[in-house]
Structure 1
Amino acid sequence: MKLRQLGAVALGCLFVSFAAPVAESDPSRSAPMQFSLRQDTANCGTRCKTWVAATGMIRAETSRDFEIFAAKHNIRGSTIVLNSEGGSVHGAIALGRAIRKLDMTTTVGRTVDAKGDSRIASIVPRADCESMCAFVLLSGAKRIVPPEARVRVHQIWLGDRRDDAAAASYSAEDLVLVQRDIGKLAQYTIEMGGSVELLELSLRIPPWEPMRVLTRDEMRRMNLDNSDVTDARSTPPQSTTTATPVSAPVRPISVTGQRERGWVTAERDGKMTLTRRHPLTVEGEDLGTIDVAFACGASAGEYQIIYTETRRAFEGAARQPLKSIELRLANKMVSLTPTPSQASDNSGEMQSSASGTITSAMLHNFASSGMRSMVIETASENSDVAVIRIGNSGAATNLMPFVTSCAQQPARAEHAGLQTGSR
């Protein structure tokens, strides 16, 4: 498989994202989904377009809200315009079935009011339909995805552990919940006339990778866009024999050692570091591991960040040294300086490393409570890109011992005007 260049449970599970949407910032996409009947009355005479605007997150109660809305308006056979970050698996399945009962057309877009007149609206096709929204899109008797719109997919994951999935703990009951929801989603996909390729590709992308943008060919093959079909209602799902082959499953994350579960303090070259190991994957394909460590900087107020990667060759491809490593941390971009990559003793592996400097404020912001994460983007000599999001589990607990250790270093103590003493 060629590595793709990437740009940027209410009782159910959530798909998650961390890449910037294609549409301009719209807080309503993160609020519970709302429905409104809109019309473009500008210069249309008696042929004005009417549609249902559906904007926001899909919750367990969204299908109920939609059915209440549908009971008040004659929307059978009309178009519903989706603009959503996704949401609940159960909510999306129920919403999709309600839309199919009304024989509606689904599309992707943002509904925008005309300036100075809320009675006049228009549809802007530059919008995102993400995660479970893609499965709601599948519910339309006719499905249209404008060229400017994006449909993006991701794995199902337990909603309360999506922020740092690689460091979370999971029980047998958790696995039962996810397996059950996958089965329900598979049944729904076939029921709506979709292709199992849509589900397979979605389940390939772990939550620490960016959402996968579907190509035009993929959407047509998966039957997500059937705008070129004369009678879409009678069209069976496309055969998946031409789909991208199913890649090898992601190797399980080891949970035997604390170092695999979050940020911990550890010695490196005789000095204290705050360090973390994380799987290196591209579209769920296990390529190796990465180690990220914060080390004491040369002076107070700064810290060194060290990136180390062990990467296996991808489907027999030649080993390519890393060309660039960029880190997004605390809303700032940091370019790391790579050292020459070297072939490891294990056949087919390449070891690479890079380092850079960050401020104390950036480190403290990352370790603070809330949804904090860093994003690492690497590019090889042939421009193949891997993007990994690493959460901050354990960082807050281990930050102070690490910071204290750095402050006690002679060079730093002298810089801060402190008495160093003996160590």
Structure 2
Amino acid sequence: MRFELIRQGPSDTCGARCKVFVAATGAITADTPRDFSVFAKGRDLTGATVVLDSDGGSVHGAIALGRAIRKLALDTTVGRVRLLRAPENAEPRGALSPQADCESMCAFVLLGGVRRVVPAEARVMVHQIWLGDRRDDPTAANYSAEDLVLVQRDIGRLAQYTAEMGISIDMLDLSLRIPPWEPMHAMTSDELRTMRVATEQPDIATGAAVAANPPAPIAPPVSRLTNGIQAAMIDISERNWAVVDQSGHSSLARRHPLTVEGEEIGSFDLLVSCGADRGRYDFSYIERRYKGARNAAPDAVGAVTVRVGGLSEPLKVVSSDQRDGEMVTYAAAQVPADLIDAFTSLGNRSMTLETRASGLVTTIRLGNTGARQSLPGLISACRKSPGDRADLSAGQLGGMAAAR
């Protein structure tokens, strides 16, 4: 994180009432508290406001930085300091812009301010803390007992720090509901006020509401359907992508929980098969959804979209109806080989699935663990399949197949 001292301007506008800003931008690391201490040493920061614009970072770094801000009795806000034109060798002057985000652990740094202001245009965004090297595909990763101890210890430290700053523990509870495969939760004006994250604030654009004290979760139905077939008959993993055989047809498949701000409301299967059209793959989405404690079951899913990087493809919802107490949705499309190639390329890649149903939006991000290794097996199986797929050329099996 980078720190810069800037006085409010223009000077002829604010005069003797010009504020002092400490612009704090960038990622929070374990070294950030030390860097801030070096920055603050020898400077008069009396009455200054720390202006935060950060995507978060280290848990320990954020806690130590927040405590340092409180020790100096500084104020905090979310925004950016825009430098103004000034004569050469003149003191730098800046204007506060509220167009900024304070994400993840930055939200806890914000708590360090004696006076905390969140402008209407700014966003404070929270989610669960997670082991950084396993965030790309969290359901595929392995976790040791030592890993669990580390996370639990950090949660305890955050709880102690939150209470120490005089903030409702509900803020930490809210953060811990949002799993790493969902988008971060943008805190609403009510949450910022009732949880005492902001000491004063104008009206803030409302994000998705989350109950402070949700009722006990409703147990999900036991049955699980996958395109009309009992899930037990199809070995689809939640841990990684793998080739599965379904009634003689091979697919690259993955299963994932379906959640809304941490509440599990079902699960879905993704199946990628070789398409008959040149340079495209058949892509299927099969979802089982039930009523949650905080989220009612919709009448039907209206739209499903898959995204990989800058590529996006809408799926056609073929059916979405109630079956044995749960809603089963089937959507499909022929997607470009470029989309699958990008997802299965070397390195950590992610795929995002978005659904829209009766005003409820779900957004799930899942990684590519096993996809690159398993795709050649799918291509080989497609070449051996009976019927029209047996005659497909490498070009008709998609870009990755041709490369193989």
TM-score of the alignment, normalized to the shorter chain, above 0.5: yes
Q: How far did residue 318 of structure 1 move?
A: 4.8
Q: How far did residue 341 of structure 1 move?
A: 1.6
| Matched-pair contact (CA < 8 Å) for 1:167–1:261 | yes
The match for 2:212 among 227, 232, 244 is 244
Q: Which amino acid aligns with 2:367?
A: G
Which digits, 9 at most, give the CA deviation of each residue in 1:218-267, with x for residues without a partner? 101111111269xxxxxxxxxxxx9622355799xxxxx88221111111
Q: How far did residue 169 of structure 1 move?
A: 0.8
Residues 270-309 of structure 1 correspond to what in structure 2 (within 5 A)? 270-309=248-287
Q: Which amino acid aligns with 1:134?
A: A
Is 2:125 aligned against 1:144?
no
Relative to structure 1, is the Cα distance of residues 371 and 72 closer, same or farther in structure 2, using a 3 angstrom cutoff? Answer: farther
Aligned to 2:169: 196
Aligned to 1:74: 44
Separation in structure 1 between the aligned mates of residue 396 and residue 69 of structure 2, nearest angstrom: 65
Is 2:329 aligned against 1:329?
no
Separation in structure 1 between the aligned mates of residue 396 and residue 191 of structure 2, nearest angstrom: 58
Relative to structure 1, is the Cα distance of residues 416 and 228 closer, same or farther in structure 2, using a 3 angstrom cutoff? Answer: closer
Q: Which amino acid aligns with 1:337?
A: K
| Matched-pair contact (CA < 8 Å) for 1:250–1:285 | no
Separation in structure 2 between the aligned mates of residue 402 and residue 115 of structure 1, nearest angstrom: 60
In structure 2, list runs of 5 or more residues that go unmatched. Answer: 203-209, 220-234, 398-404
Separation in structure 2 between the aligned mates of residue 320 and residue 280 of structure 1, nearest angstrom: 17
| Matched-pair contact (CA < 8 Å) for 1:39–1:49 | yes
Give secondary structure in 1 for the equivalent of 2:41. Answer: helix
- TM-score, normalised on structure 2? 0.85
| Matched-pair contact (CA < 8 Å) for 1:62–1:91 | yes
Separation in structure 2 between the aligned mates of residue 297 and residue 214 of structure 1, nearest angstrom: 43
Separation in structure 1 between the aligned mates of residue 185 and residue 395 of structure 2, nearest angstrom: 47
Residues 247-258 of structure 1 correspond to what in structure 2 (within 5 A)? 248=216
| Matched-pair contact (CA < 8 Å) for 2:236–2:255 | no
Q: Which amino acid aligns with 1:406?
A: C
Which digits, 9 at most, give the CA deviation of each residue in 1:283-327, with x for residues without a partner? 111111110111111123110110000111223835521111111
Separation in structure 2 between the aligned mates of residue 220 and residue 157 of structure 1, nearest angstrom: 26
Residues 338-353 of structure 1 correspond to what in structure 2 (within 5 A)? 338-345=317-324, 348-353=325-330
- TM-score, normalised on structure 1? 0.81
Residues 97-176 of structure 1 correspond to what in structure 2 (within 5 A)? 97-114=67-84, 119-176=92-149
Separation in structure 1 between the aligned mates of residue 134 and residue 70 of structure 2, nearest angstrom: 32
More deviation, 70-79/139-148: 70-79
Q: Which amino acid aligns with 1:218?
A: E
The match for 2:31 among 36, 61, 83 is 61
More deviation, 320-329/112-121: 112-121
| Matched-pair contact (CA < 8 Å) for 1:379–1:385 | yes
Aligned to 1:40: 8
Q: How far did residue 126 of structure 1 move?
A: 1.1
Is 2:399 aligned against 1:412?
no
| Matched-pair contact (CA < 8 Å) for 1:125–1:148 | yes
Relative to structure 1, is the Cα distance of residues 228 and 299 closer, same or farther in structure 2, using a 3 angstrom cutoff? Answer: closer
Q: How far did residue 356 of structure 1 move?
A: 1.1
| Matched-pair contact (CA < 8 Å) for 1:81–1:106 | yes
The match for 2:341 among 345, 355, 364 is 364
Separation in structure 1 between the aligned mates of residue 137 and residue 394 of structure 2, nearest angstrom: 38
In structure 1, list runs of 5 or more residues that go unmatched. Answer: 1-32, 230-241, 252-256, 418-423
Aligned to 1:182: 155
Aligned to 2:62: 92
Q: How far did residue 40 of structure 1 move?
A: 2.9
Separation in structure 1 between the aligned mates of residue 201 and residue 292 of structure 2, nearest angstrom: 36
Deviating 4+ runs (over 6 angstroms): none
Which digits, 9 at most, give the CA deviation of each residue in 1:56-80, with x for residues without a partner? 1111110010011110311133100
Is 2:227 aligned against 1:262?
no
Q: How far did residue 411 of structure 1 move?
A: 4.2
Higher RCO (CA-CA < 8 Å; seq separation 6+) = 1
Give secondary structure in 2 for the equivalent of 1:335. Answer: strand
Relative to structure 1, is the Cα distance of residues 166 and 84 closer, same or farther in structure 2, using a 3 angstrom cutoff? Answer: same
Identical residues among aligned pairs (%)? 48
Q: How far did residue 360 of structure 1 move?
A: 1.5
Which digits, 9 at most, give the CA deviation of each residue in 1:154-190, with x for residues without a partner? 0011111011111111111111111111001000000
Which digits, 9 at most, give the CA deviation of each residue in 1:126-164, with x for residues without a partner? 110011111110110000000110001000111110111
Is 2:362 aligned against 1:386?
yes
| Matched-pair contact (CA < 8 Å) for 1:107–1:144 | yes
Aligned to 2:53: 83
| Matched-pair contact (CA < 8 Å) for 1:247–1:285 | no
Q: How far did residue 268 of structure 1 move?
A: 2.6
Relative to structure 1, is the Cα distance of residues 393 and 385 closer, same or farther in structure 2, using a 3 angstrom cutoff? Answer: same
The match for 2:296 among 317, 326, 340 is 317
Relative to structure 1, is the Cα distance of residues 76 and 48 closer, same or farther in structure 2, using a 3 angstrom cutoff? Answer: closer
Relative to structure 1, is the Cα distance of residues 51 and 82 closer, same or farther in structure 2, using a 3 angstrom cutoff? Answer: same
Separation in structure 2 between the aligned mates of residue 337 and residue 54 of structure 1, nearest angstrom: 45
* Alpha-carbon RMSD: 2.5
| Matched-pair contact (CA < 8 Å) for 2:50–2:76 | yes
Relative to structure 1, is the Cα distance of residues 166 and 317 closer, same or farther in structure 2, using a 3 angstrom cutoff? Answer: same
Q: Which amino acid aligns with 1:147?
A: A
| Matched-pair contact (CA < 8 Å) for 1:327–1:375 | yes
Q: Which amino acid aligns with 1:410?
A: A
| Matched-pair contact (CA < 8 Å) for 1:265–1:398 | yes
